[in-house]
Structure 1
Amino acid sequence: MTRVFFDRELETAATFWRVFRKDGLALGFTSHDRDLAFGGVLHRAAPGMVPSAIRLTSDLSEENAGVDGALSHDAISENDLSAGLYDEAAIEVGIVDWDALDHTVLYSGTLGKITDDRRGFSGELRSAKSVLEKDLVPRTSPTCRAVFCGRGCGLSASRFMQRVLVDEVDLDLNRIRISGISEDDYRDGQIRFLEGSQTGIAFAIVGAEGDWLTLDRPLSGALSGGTPAELLEGCDHTLTTCANRFGNALNFRGEPFLPGNDLLARYGQGLG
């Protein structure tokens, strides 16, 4: 029988919150004053967790929810958040009877934007309806809109990807060294580590100098030399690179010769 909550004057209810990271780690929290184990997950006591009002709708409008405070729990570190370990993590929010451990999930979605006010973290929760907010109509741009080796590009990622080993890690400058690579090929590229706490997370290469590649998000302190990785070449999305380097101008998804707004601002000049 499904438990009916708040049908009596004295209720033994608490809220709970679960995080399922893409690397397989599951974390649970509860607003109760002691840990609770149910549903195959140990929920840590986090009395400071304050779920916002959850609004569920039957139409196509987005459902709003959020959690404040829980992200400041000791189980979730600032380094893990900034390193992307919680990006697009699956979220469940619900209510539990802390005596009988009957529980009901009220909201499920993914973890969206995370903000830090120096006192703690706040997480925005997104339901499955968030995909309806995506703009499906392409906008004109002088550069290519397609993801390199992705949909619309037409190139195979296997041609431009190689397995490598990290030779050295520089945490201060957030960069790694991989010997034998060309900086011109991998500038604007991507790397995924195949071992360690950041396995599978896509790092964009924002700078390349010699054998050193600077990445867009903080590296884990546990990353060390010898870590295997997949390295994908980069593309600056210009027509020149697409045509001359990759011979793929036919699939270029941009309008490099379309006049810009500056043309509308020009003054007409009469004949003198």
Structure 2
Amino acid sequence: MSGFPQALAAHLACDVTTVCQCWRLTRRDGQVSGFTDHDRRLSVAGVDYEPGTGLAASEARDSLGLAVDTVDVEGALCSERIRAEDIAAGLYDGARVEAFLVNWRDPAVFALVRTSTIGKLTRGGEHFVAELESLVHALDQPNGRYVSRTCDAELGDARCGVDIGASGFAGEGVVARAGGADTIAVSGLGDFAGGWFAHGTLLWTGGARQGRSERIVAHRIEDGTVLLTLLPSVGPVIAPGDAFSVAAGCDKSFATCRKKFANALNFRGFPHLPGNDTAYSYAVDGGQFDGGPVVP
């Protein structure tokens, strides 16, 4: 109890307590929501905590060592706060969750007891279950760079240096027809060669998906019609007339970096790295062992 504020510690020492749990959820896009297992709405530190979702938590444990402690939080899906389509779209993946112990009779008396991130979120019927992982899980993540032939920078970031907003690298269009398998026919991109936007990103600027970003898998032209295939996702239906902006894509290869973007000096991979076959082979007649580049 020594870590709790004096007022809360004194209240917990009483024979009868009036405490509840509150969870402040901060998505990666910055949206903040508050939930509580109390039966009334509470306002704590300027954030409103809603009881409507009927949240309930499993046992919470803090163990010694580097094991990742988890807590399951279960609640009801509701159209106002947590929607099934938002969960399926991954909007809550990696969200930060802060758990508070609050005196519901005096919400100014509270303490932060746990900070977690959502590791796995599943749903079934009208309910969802969020697995909250302790911050120790960050120690189990890969750090540093991998040595590979492909680039490990994101197109347009500081390490890449390409201005994807420049003329020729970006465009705007409108959905002309929505087909199956996440393929849409679009207008407004007729000046670009097929494949230019493959592996790029699409940002919806109008329609039911406005504000969402999608990954473009393929960009092709068939019988004069521009077709974009998007990475499969769950969300509102794409309809004719939906507007979007697109940015050129990169397949992370050295050849694309050099030819498409003239950015070979900033390539963040190791294109001339010999493969396993070369590393374990031996010199034979007719082989080329002049130390020249693997990728021209």
Bin the TM-score by the shorter chain: 0.7 to 0.9
3-state SS of paired residue (2:187)? coil
CA contact (8 A) 2:21 2:102 kept: yes
2:248 is equivalent to residue 233 of structure 1: yes
2-structure distance, mates of 1:200, 1:109: 27
The residue number in structure 1 matching 2:146 is: 139
Separation of aligned partners in 2, 1:82 and 1:200: 16
Change in CA separation of 1:208 and 1:44 when aligned onto 2, cut-off 3 Å: farther
Q: Which moved more, 1:102-111 or 1:254-263?
A: 102-111
Out of 230, 238, 245, the position equivalent to 1:215 is 230
Matched, 1:178 2:189: no
Listed one character per residue, the Cα deviations across residues 167-192 of structure 1 (whole Å, up to 9, x for unaligned) are 24648533444313244111100122
Matches within 5 A, 1:156-171: 156-159=163-166, 161-162=169-170, 164-168=172-176, 170=178
Of the structure 1 ranges 181-190 and 105-114, higher mean CA displacement relative to structure 2 is found in 105-114
Structure 1 equivalent of residue 130 of structure 2: 122
Relative to the length of structure 2, the TM-score reads 0.72
The structure-2 alpha-carbon separation of the partners of 1:90 and 1:80, relative to structure 1 and needing over 3 Å to count, comes to same
CA contact (8 A) 1:149 1:156 kept: yes
Report the Cα offset of residue 64 of structure 1: 4.2
Residue 208 of structure 2 is aligned to residue 194 of structure 1 = no
Q: Distance in 1 between matches of 2:68 and 2:24?
A: 18
Conserved? CA contact 2:36–2:49, under 8 Å = no
Could you tell me how far 1:47 is from its partner in structure 2?
A: 4.5
Kindly report which structure 2 residues correspond to 1:1-272, keeping only aligned pairs within 5 A, or say none.
Answer: 2-4=7-9, 6-21=12-27, 25-32=31-38, 34-39=39-44, 40-53=47-60, 55=62, 64-70=69-75, 72-74=76-78, 75-101=81-107, 102-108=109-115, 110-116=117-123, 120-125=128-133, 127=135, 135-159=142-166, 161-162=169-170, 164-168=172-176, 170=178, 173-181=181-189, 182=192, 183-195=194-206, 198-210=209-221, 211-221=226-236, 224-266=239-281
Partner Cα separation in structure 1 for residue 57 and residue 172 of structure 2: 44
One-letter code of the match for 2:253? T
TM-score, normalised via structure 1 length: 0.77
- Kindly, what percent of the aligned residue pairs are identical? 25
Extract unaligned runs of 5+ from structure 2. Answer: 1-5, 286-296
Question: CA offset at residue 144 of structure 1?
Answer: 1.3
C-alpha contact (below 8 Å) 1:203/1:217 kept by paired residues: no
Which runs of 5 or more residues in structure 1 are unaligned? none
Residue 189 of structure 1 contacts residue 205 of structure 1 at CA under 8 Å; is this kept in 2? yes
Root-mean-square deviation (Å): 3.6
